[in-house]
Amino acid sequence: MGSWALRWAFDCGCTDTELLAVKDTELMHQILLRLYGSFGFERMRDVGDDASSIADRLLWGAVRTFVRMNLDSFFFE
């Protein structure tokens, strides 16, 4: 389902995708980072509980690591 959604976004003109690897537990967070990294996502920044992350918290609703991937690299490399 995730790959289908990425393909649909790509066909509609999106060039990048962004996710938040949430931290329910430290182990699950590390598993998500490895999984997303294997797909080609790159770490952008950490989203924390402090005031500097308010905008990200309003958008994502959770804390931890913001990742981004170029869709060309996902589909064509």
pLDDT per residue as tens digits for the range 7-36 = 999 999 999 999 889 888 999 999 999 999
**b/e code 11-29 from CB counts within 10 Å (16+ = b):** eeeeeebebbbbbeeeeeb
> What is the pTM assigned to this prediction?
0.78
Q: What is residue 43's predicted lDDT score, i.e. its pLDDT?
A: 94
Average per-residue pLDDT in the chain? 88
| Nearest 10 degrees: Cα torsion 59, 64, 70, 74 | -120
Q: Which residues contact 6 (CB under 8 A, 6 or more apart)?
A: 17, 71, 74, 75
Higher pLDDT, 57 or 37: 37
